[in-house]
């Protein structure tokens, strides 16, 4: 009687992968880099609030209320609202989709493409005003930047085991320390994600100093590269099915 785990020639059948491949890890790192770039622009040029770190924004909202700073209150509320809208829309578009470890589902990829569109519109507005937006433009850009981070965060949740947090890495750092020191099995990609956040913010600040009107382009390019990397497993799956 033949072993069901073997092919017709007695060769063992290849087991389907159960962990994310390198392409998905690289895609996550690129998204983290993009979020670092967005955060640098958001905090330094858009009324000193974050686009993706809502815990800090809630604290900043409280401080602005305590100081009676209307601008700070408005900026924090816009960031919180934008993030919530982006996350809610993404959650609706990816509902009833169970994440798998080997690839990101088409709805997740669609939402990330939407993030790129919003980032590109923001980059266009930023370039049109020469990197020096007025209050109205800053409000619109703040809402849009937070919406992109909401989209990205919710998309990574929907991707499940095939992804990791890309906008708020406190949990990543804590998990890396606990698993490294306590369990001896740290995530080897965690340092890359943490370094990517620093690199994205640093590159964005360098652009803001050298060519401020082009600073908004960096997150767009990084997000596009992430989508390309994340699409490789889907391409391989389709080629395998056709073959």
pLDDT in tens, 132-181: 999 999 999 999 999 999 999 999 999 998 899 999 999 999 988 888 77
**Digit-coded pLDDT (tens) for 53-69:** 999 999 999 999 999 99
What is residue 242's predicted lDDT score, i.e. its pLDDT? 66
Judged against a pLDDT cut of 80, whether residue 100 lies above it is answered with no
What is the SS3 assignment for 11? coil
Q: Is residue 140 exposed (0-12), middle (13-18) or buried (19+ Cβ within 10 Å)?
A: middle
Domain ranges across the chain: 33-229
φ, ψ of residue 121 to 5 degrees: the values are -60, -45
**Percent helix / strand / coil, the chain, rounded to 5:** 75, 0, 25
Q: Tell me, what's the pLDDT at 5?
A: 46
Say if residue 103's pLDDT is above 90: no
Average confidence (pLDDT) over 108-114: 97
Task: Report the distance separating Cα 220 and Cα 26, nearest Å.
Answer: 16
pTM across the whole model: 0.88
221 compared with 1, residue with greater pLDDT: 221
What pLDDT was estimated at residue 50? 96
Q: What's residue 187's pLDDT?
A: 83
pLDDT category of residue 31 using cuts at 50, 70 and 90: very high
């Amino acid at each position: 009687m033949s072993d069901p785990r073997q092919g017709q020639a007695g060769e063992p059948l290849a087991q389907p992968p159960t962990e994310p491949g390198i392409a998905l890890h690289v895609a996550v790192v690129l998204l983290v880099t993009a979020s670092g770039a967005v955060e640098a622009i958001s905090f330094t040029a858009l009324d000193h609030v974050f686009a993706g770190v809502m815990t800090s924004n809630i604290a900043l909202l409280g401080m602005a209320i305590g100081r009676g700073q209307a601008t700070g209150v408005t900026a924090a509320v816009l960031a919180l609202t934008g993030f919530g809208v982006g996350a809610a829309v993404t959650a609706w578009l990816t509902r009833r989709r169970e994440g798998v470890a080997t690839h990101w589902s088409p709805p997740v990829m669609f939402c990330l493409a939407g993030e790129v569109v919003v980032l590109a519109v923001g980059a266009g507005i930023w370039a049109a005003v020469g990197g020096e937006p007025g209050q109205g433009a800053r409000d619109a850009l703040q809402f849009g930047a937070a919406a992109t981070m909401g989209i990205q965060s919710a998309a990574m949740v929907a991707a499940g085991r095939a992804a990791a947090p890309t906008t708020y890495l406190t949990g990543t750092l804590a998990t890396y320390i606990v698993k490294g020191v306590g369990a001896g099995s740290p995530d080897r990609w965690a340092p890359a994600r943490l370094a990517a956040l620093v690199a994205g913010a640093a590159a964005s600040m360098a652009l803001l100093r050298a060519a401020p009107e082009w600073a908004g382009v960096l997150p767009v390019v990084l997000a596009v590269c992430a989508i390309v990397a994340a699409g490789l497993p889907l391409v391989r799956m389709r080629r395998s099915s056709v073959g």
